[in-house]
Amino acid sequence: MIGRVECKMEDVLNYASASRHFEERSNLNAIVSLGIFFILLFSTPSFAQKNSNSMNDKQIVIYQLLPRLFGNKNTANIPYGTIEQNGSGKFNDINDKALDGIKELHANYVWYTGVIAHASLTDYSKHGIKVDDADVVKGRAGSPYAIRDYYDVNPDLAVDVKNRMKEFEDLVKRTHAKNLKVLIDFVPNHVARGYHSYAKPKSVVDFGANDDVTKGFSPANDFYYIPGQKFLVPQHEPKQTPLSALQDGKFDENPAKATGNNSFVAQPKYDDWYETIKLNYGVDYLNGEKKYFDPIPPVWTKMQDILIFWAKKGVDGFRCDMAEMVPIAFWNWVIPQVKKVNPDIIFLGEAYNPHVYKQYLDEGKFDYLYDKVGLYDGLKRLIRNEPHADVKDIRYVWQTESAGFGNKMLRFLENHDEERIASEGFAGHAELALPAMVVSATLGSGPVMLYFGQEVGEPGKGAEGYGGDDNRTTIFDYWGVPSHQKWMNNGAFDGRGLNENQLKLRAYYQQLLKVTTKSDAIIHGDIYDVPQTGNMNNRMYAFIRYSGKQRLLVVVNFDRSQSLEANIEIPDQILKVKSSSPVTDLLTDRKLNIPAGTSIPVKLDPVSAQVIEF
């Protein structure tokens, strides 16, 4: 037991930067296997967890991007700017070089956010698309989650608007040619107030076309109504913006329809999802949520047709927006129907209630759910060094909250809804989140996700328009994303505009995900909770991932001032597992001078992490 494992974040970043140009690109085509039993067994007192999981040969790594922002080279960034002023990325901008750059991060799925046509204030009337009303559109570009036509793609994303669907189909083909899979959003709970499908097949009946609008609720209706009352635009404090001249407060909807966030009044609040209308899945919310699922409500079959439409376009999976606001019975019915078209298609649910996670997985038949309320929120507190931050939150997630289905939980530190790590409102520096990223990628065998720009420290700074200066990258406005644009380098996608720290950060992500996507212990292994030892405090954590082929010790230090020093004792049952020779720090590929023994001595600088194969 001679020697000490020492780790400094600077050493890891420097190594990663030096290695980024020599890294072999891997073909990471994740194959999703269905119908596997997931078993979780606990031993006491150390909480060694059995983590039998799916037969994926690679960990799923999802790279989320908005095509409207991802490919935009325009740097004008005028608040509330038009598409002519600020520009918009196109499907065609996501070319082979861009996809190669995504693959360098060992991603194997790309989540194209904002593909399906949504409400906006850009005029495409010459292409037969009615302009939306500014009173019920958020921002000039509009929310990707206020769908105005489920059978069309966003015309902003096309070079040739009349051939916009062909340009999307070509993107799907390019993505598949790089052995990457395609995710898009499915927004089942609500649609834009101005919903009308111009692109639907002739056999499709539009939402609401056959509704009896004299009834607040009917199982046969697609929407909920407030009979006898007109829709009233929400009241808010007068604030002059470049969009004010377009907002006359006279949006015509009579009778008013219920709002997407279950607001059953004619005038929703300004902080409601007032730009959307709630879809009716057969639940009478005004009468104790009584359910009318037999016969099958018309919205169910319409949504089934929409999902199958996109599955036949080659889409490999759906990120299902606000999945918990739609009845489990619908998911139980529709997901198997879609998987008849493609058995390998995946359904990822946006979910925020841990009490029903298992129900949405078992009954609802989702493949994966967000791990936001558990792991993300706990890690954010640690990253921000909040007074009540504690690594016990990490332990609670895998031992209690998602015990038995941790491999079904998607882990992430950024997405379009959350604050950018490097923003002043979150951490201020992207490097402060690297221990948390190590935990996100190694704690389970489920998917891990990156949000475009995260890997180069995009701070989401500035008031873009409707998005405001909220530490996020806007989804409502036409905008350029500065740090990402430095990597994009005017379409070369070679990173030559990045500074040294950004290059190191991106290379760190590359190295970490190279390790996790290829690790048998991560993909198939069990987890053992290392008891607190040495000088470990409530901002320091260690665990072991191990399978029949590999053993990994993961050690993270969130403390901003104190180094971690400890001898990590290895239990006998793990020592029996096939060992690695020599012992290696996988985040730097550095061989460690540690003789065989029953413990591993470690020392980590503040805000550091280490993944040791032993």
Q: What is the per-residue pLDDT across 302-337, written as a single tens digit (0 to 9) for each?
A: 999 999 999 999 999 999 999 999 999 999 999 999
> Containing H/E element for 26?
none
Res 11 pLDDT > 60: no
DSSP label at residue 259: B
Span 30-59, pLDDT tens digits: 333 333 333 333 333 334 444 433 335 789
- Helices (DSSP H) in 397-470: which residue ranges? 434-442
Span 414-464, pLDDT tens digits: 999 999 999 999 999 999 999 999 999 999 999 999 999 999 999 999 999
pLDDT number for residue 597? 76
Classify residue 51 as exposed, middle or buried by CB count within 10 Å of its CB (0-12, 13-18, 19+).
Answer: buried
Residue in 596, 466, 522 with CA at minimum distance from that of residue 137: 466
Span 237-269, pLDDT tens digits: 778 999 999 999 999 999 999 999 999 999 999
Span 535-573, pLDDT tens digits: 999 999 999 999 999 999 999 999 999 999 999 999 999
Helix, strand, coil percentages (3-state) for the chain, rounded to 5, are: 30, 20, 55
Give the span between the Cα atoms of 510 and 517, in whole angstroms.
11
Report yes or no on whether pTM surpasses 0.75. Answer: yes
Longest dimension (CA), the chain: 81
Peptide bond into 601 cis (omega under 30): no
pLDDT number for residue 24? 37
Return the higher-pLDDT residue of 54 and 99.
99
Contacts of 238 (CB under 8 A, 6+ apart): none
Classify residue 597 as exposed, middle or buried by CB count within 10 Å of its CB (0-12, 13-18, 19+).
Answer: middle
Give the span between the Cα atoms of 488 and 522, in whole angstroms.
31
Contact 548, 580 (CB under 8 A): no
Give the span between the Cα atoms of 67 and 487, in whole angstroms.
15
Give the span between the Cα atoms of 596 and 31, in whole angstroms.
37
The number of beta carbons lying within 10 Å of the beta carbon of residue 191 is 29
Q: What are phi and psi of 590, to 5 degrees?
A: -90, 130
The identity of residue 306, as a single letter, is I
DSSP label at residue 532: P
Residue in 569, 558, 610, 606 with CA at minimum distance from that of residue 433: 558
Query: Average pLDDT, whole number, for the chain?
Result: 91
Using only the alpha carbons of the chain, give its radius of gyration: 25
- Name the token pair of 240: 């002059």
Q: What are phi and psi of 85, to 5 degrees?
A: -80, -45
